């Protein structure tokens, strides 16, 4: 069974990691669907999901960002970052849908171009801005698979991650980022 990591403590892992990047606020729980897919089809992979399981606990913004940054960087070194751009399910007043995910997608697109970071991108029908994202990835990153279904996006991530057991050992947690 896949090892699944959620935003708690930073835990060292061996082997490739798939980081589930994409909208949380206002989005359906697509991460649970992806985790089920990986558990069934690629149990050798570890999966990092930034969606908190226990929402009864107070939200610690800095800890969440640090956890995500650490695991994104770990997946970039050994594994793949899977973006699933789910269409908006519930509007969140005062917040543009997928605002953080769009920033991260642009960041990791550039890191793919510069450093060869492995990305797989899935875009659900109805995600706003999909046409632009597909066009730009086609222009700049033709090697990044663009999928229209969750299962195709997950399968592309498996192909990119491979079954490599030659993981770079986990380093100490990344220092906190300056958000100011």
- CATH number of residue 81's parent domain: 3.40.50.450
Instruction: Give the chain's residues under pLDDT 50.
Output: 163-169, 171-180
Considering only CA atoms, which of 177, 178, 169, 180 is closest in space to residue 13? Answer: 169
Q: Could you give the number of structural domains in the chain?
A: 1
Residue 146 resides in a domain: yes
pLDDT digits (tens, 9 = 90+) for 110-148: 999 999 999 999 999 999 999 999 999 999 999 999 999
Determine the structural domain holding residue 116 and report its residue range. Answer: 3-159
pTM assigned to the model: 0.89
pLDDT of residue 154: 98
Residue 167 resides in a domain: no
pLDDT of residue 1: 57
Instruction: Give the integer Cα–Cα distance in Å for 80 and 49.
Output: 13
pLDDT of residue 179: 31
């Amino acid at each position: 069974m896949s090892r699944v990591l959620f935003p708690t403590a930073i835990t060292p892992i061996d082997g490739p990691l798939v980081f589930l990047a994409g909208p949380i606020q206002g989005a359906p729980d697509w991460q649970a669907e992806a985790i089920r897919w990986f558990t069934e089809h690629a149990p050798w992979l570890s999966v990092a999901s930034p969606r908190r399981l226990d929402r009864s606990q107070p939200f610690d913004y800095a800890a969440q960002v640090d956890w995500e940054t650490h695991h994104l960087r770990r997946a970039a070194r050994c594994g793949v970052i899977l973006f699933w751009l789910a269409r908006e399910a519930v509007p969140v007043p005062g917040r543009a849908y997928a605002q953080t995910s769009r920033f991260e997608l642009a960041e990791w697109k550039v890191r793919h171009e510069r450093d060869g970071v492995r990305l797989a991108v899935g875009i659900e029908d109805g995600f706003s801005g999909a046409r632009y994202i597909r066009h730009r990835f086609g222009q700049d990153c033709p090697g990044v698979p663009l999928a229209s279904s969750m299962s195709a996006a997950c399968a592309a991530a498996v192909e990119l991650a491979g079954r490599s057991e030659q993981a770079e050992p986990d380093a100490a947690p990344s220092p906190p980022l300056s958000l100011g």
